[in-house]
Each structure stands twice: as C-alpha cells, then as structure tokens.
Structure 1
Amino acid sequence: MHSTEIEIRTGDRAVVHDLTRDAERFLADAPSGEGDGPSDGLLHVWVPHATAGLAVLETGAGSDDDLLAALDDLLPRDDRWRHRHGSAGHGRDHVLPALVPPYATIPVLGGRLALGTWQSICLVDTNVDNPTRRVRFSFLAG
C-alpha cells in the first residue's frame, strides 16, 4: 500500500473542492508491485475531519453549487442544532459526514482513475471555522 496526505485550503466559506488532479498526481508517483507505477487497484480517499466529506460528482456545470444549495436546504445554518460551539449554525457541519461521507474508494485501471466522463473526486467542506483540511490518498495495488 502507498499512502500520502495533502493539505487543502478551503477558506471561510462552504466549498466543493475538486481533488481529481491531486489524486492523479498521487497515482503517478505511487509504486506498483513491479516498480513501474500503479496498475490496477483501488484508490481510497479519506478526510480525517468531523465536519467535511467526499463526493464523486460533476463539477463546473453547476452541480457543485447545487450540492451546496441542497445541503443548505437539508442542513440550514441556524440555531436548531444542539452542537453549539463555533460560528452560528456550526452544528450542521457535524451532521454533514452522515450525508456526505468522509471517504471514497475509486477503481484504478492501468494506473488511471476509472471515473466516468463527468465525474470528479471532491472535498465537500461547509465548515467556515476551519480554513485548512487534510486529505489522505491510499493506493492498494491489485
């Protein structure tokens, strides 16, 4: 298994941050069993945070903004939440990983991500109190 962790700056607003190029760079540097770079296997992506998640979705055509709008509808940033530290409505950020999990596993075929044409691996971060996130990539060769 080959693994690394990167840091992503998400800032002070809710974001959907595309990690696909980061994942491709990681795979390009990952050794295979034969030393030629990765061939087939699984890329596991993990976000070690209680208030962020990962999604595989289309970006750039409005789907990323639609996801954030849907999360605002489902999890309003208001005072209904029992978890009350941080900025107003921060409790909803702690519910996010139940809907947008903190992990994703993507097949790798011939050293390349086996994503669909419009699919991207995205960090979903609605926590405006934490501007920096860590993301762990792990490649398990088949």
Structure 2
Amino acid sequence: MSDSFATHLLSLTTGRTETVTDLTGDCEQFLTRAAEGRDGLLNIFVPHATAGIAILETGAGSDDDLLAALKDLLPADDRWRHRHGHPGHGRDHVLPALVPPHATLPVIGGRLELGTWQSVCLVDTNRSNTDRQVRLSFMGGAGEA
C-alpha cells in the first residue's frame, strides 16, 4: 500500500466584522473527492498571520462566545506594539497563538471523524483583510493494490 496526498485551496470572503465561519461542509466535500472512502488525516491550514482554525460547536452561541472571549482576552485598543491597520489591529496578530492556524483531524472510511456537535471553523478577527484562503490537505492510504 502506498500513501496518497491531495490538496485544495478554498477562497473565502469573511466580511468587515469578526467572524467564525463553518468550514465543515467544505471539508466534507473535499474528502468525498480526495479520500474516496479511505482512512487518513485531513489537515486544515490558514496561511494568514491574523486568523486561526478552531473545532467547536456552532449555531448554539458557542461561536459568538468564542468571539466575546477573544475580545476580553485581546482587546482592540492601543496597547499593542504592532500598530499598522485599524485601531487595535495588533491583537489580530496575537490571535494565532491562541487559535492556531491549523488543525489535523482523523478521516475514517473517507469521512471526517468529528464529535456530534463539533465543526471545523475559520476564526477571523481581522476586519481589514476580508479575503482569506484555507488549504485542505488529505493524506491517506492509497487503498489495496
């Protein structure tokens, strides 16, 4: 059995407000094509200095709670040494230390193995950069020869 690798780049527009964007459907669509029923790993990576990937429940308030917690932990004020961009933008550059720019998740039988209420989310607090990319990469067995 040899290993296989497939990758896809998502392009998103997040808007001018802080957002949590659910990427679970995009991940599942990618795995339908890339994994073809195989076991492996899905890596989700956002190549931006001011965004991260989180695994959390969405739609029941947890996404808003996360943004509220980040506002408490990283206030958008003038305390930051990184000063270009909108006021408080330095906080956006600290975000990836708390919400990492990547996640690696198990894929079993071509399906993403998430818990019942878990979703894969892009967390973006940078109001100045609305264009985002997320790289999805599947690494898995090539199947039986």
- 2-structure distance, mates of 1:130, 1:42: 29
Alignment of 1:49-64 (within 5 A): 49-64=48-63
Q: Is this contact kept in 2: 1:40–1:111, CA < 8 A?
A: yes
Structure 1 counterpart of 2:121? 122
- The aligned residue for residue 131 of structure 1 is 130
Task: Give the corresponding residue for 1:3.
Answer: 7
If the length of structure 2 is used for normalisation, what is the TM-score? 0.93
User: Deviation string for 1:88-126 (max 9, x for gaps)?
Assistant: 000000000000000000100010000000000000000
Confirm whether residue 26 of structure 1 aligns to residue 30 of structure 2.
yes
Count of residues in Structure 1 that have an aligned counterpart in Structure 2: 137
Q: Distance in 1 between matches of 2:37 and 2:22?
A: 22
Structure 1: runs of 5+ lacking an equivalent:
none
Alignment of 1:1-142 (within 5 A): 1-30=5-34, 32=35, 37-142=36-141
Give the Cα–Cα distance (whole angstroms) in 2 for the partners of residues 9 and 116 of structure 1: 27
Q: CA RMSD in A?
A: 0.7
Q: Percent identity?
A: 67
| Regions of 4+ moved over 2 Å | none
Query: What TM-score does the superposition give when structure 1 sets the normalisation length?
Result: 0.95
Deviations 1:8-55 (A, max 9, x none): 11000000000000000000111x5xxxx1410000000000000000
Paired letter, 2:86? S
